[in-house]
Structure 1
Amino acid sequence: MTTVSRTFLVQPEPAVVIDYLKDFAHAEAWDPGTEKCTQESPGEIRVGTRWHNVSKIAGVTTELTYTLETLTPGRLVFRGENDSASTTDTITVQAKGGGSEITYDAVIEPKGAGKLGEPLLKLLFERIGTKTEKQMTEVLDGLPA
């Protein structure tokens, strides 16, 4: 299991941040690995909504189905699954100053033979975590107030 965590500040208030990030299709804008992300479940976004995500990481394309497991005014949890890995992304948002403090925790669990590469995965995902923090900050700070 590989865990990556980042805590950072953005200008929008928590309600704006949660409203934007609850739509995992927006990962195309803030996640450096995501190439395409489309909502599979019809209707409004709620717990149980699913997305099909296509990402390229270290030159390898992978597809996962993400499900929104938790949606509260201060916390989002997305669970991604495919045959080779599962991931849990927890985004906690709280008011800080005039904006928000975000804590983004990603837990990646390789399955099968993928477990052998976990030490390298940690290094790779730490780099991705830094890029994600930068991109997410830029995107969220660019949202209308």
Structure 2
Amino acid sequence: MIEVERVMTLDHPLPDVVGFLADFANAELWDPGTITCDRIGTGGPAVGAEWHNVSEFRGRRTELRYRLDRFDADHLTFVGHNKTATSTDDMRFGERDGRTRLTYRARVEFHGVARLATPLLKREFERLGDEVCVRLPQAVDRALRVPPSGGGHPQ
């Protein structure tokens, strides 16, 4: 199993950050490996909601079906499966002075013969974790940016 953890501080209130990240389709905006991530079914994010995720890793495309397994005010857990791997994205949140501290933990467990590659892939997952630290705050900032008053025209 490979596990990568990163801690980020986001300049937005906790409920807004959790609301954005609870919709796993937004992984297209912050996860460097995700190409597409589409909601399966209808309705908003809730425990049991599922997404079809297409990612690219080391030049190869892979598809996973993700499920929102935990949805608390300060904790989200998504679990993705395919025949080769189980991937877990665990996000824990805390708030202080209107800012959100996010502890993001990604865990990948390979199955079958793919398990043999686990030690060789650790460095690549660490690199992806570093990219998430850059892209996720940028995606949250773009999504939660409050438009300027006065219609957005310079004064």
- How high is the TM-score relative to the length of structure 1? 0.96
One-letter amino acid of the structure 1 residue matched with residue 22 of structure 2: K
Cα separation, 1, equivalents of 2:113 and 2:131: 27
Secondary structure of 1:43's aligned partner: coil
Q: Note the 1:85-96 alignment, pairs <5 A.
A: 85-96=85-96
Query: CA deviation digits over 1:66-100, x for unaligned, max 9?
Result: 00000011010000000000011100111033311
Quick one: distance in 1 between partners of 2:12 and 2:54?
Answer: 28
User: Are 1:11 and 2:21 counterparts?
Assistant: no
- Alignment match, 1:144: 145
State the shift of 1:39 in Å. Answer: 0.2
RMSD of the TM alignment (CA)? 1.0
Partner of 1:135: 135
Q: Which has the larger radius of gyration?
A: 2
Structure 1's consecutive aligned runs of 4 or more residues displaced over 3 angstroms after TM superposition are: none
Name 1:126's counterpart in structure 2.
126
CA distance in 1, matches of 2:44, 2:9: 28
Could you tell me which runs of 5 or more consecutive residues in structure 1 were left unpaired when the two chains were aligned.
none
On the 8 A contact 2:14/2:98 being kept in 1, the answer is: no
2:52 matches 1:49: no
Instruction: Supply the distance in 2 between the matched residues of 1:123 and 1:104 (Cα, whole angstroms).
Output: 17
Q: Which residue of 2 aligns with 1:74?
A: 74
Aligned amino acid, residue 144 of structure 1:
R
Measure, in 1, the Cα distance between the counterparts of 2:120 and 2:133. Answer: 20
Query: How high is the TM-score relative to the length of structure 2?
Result: 0.90
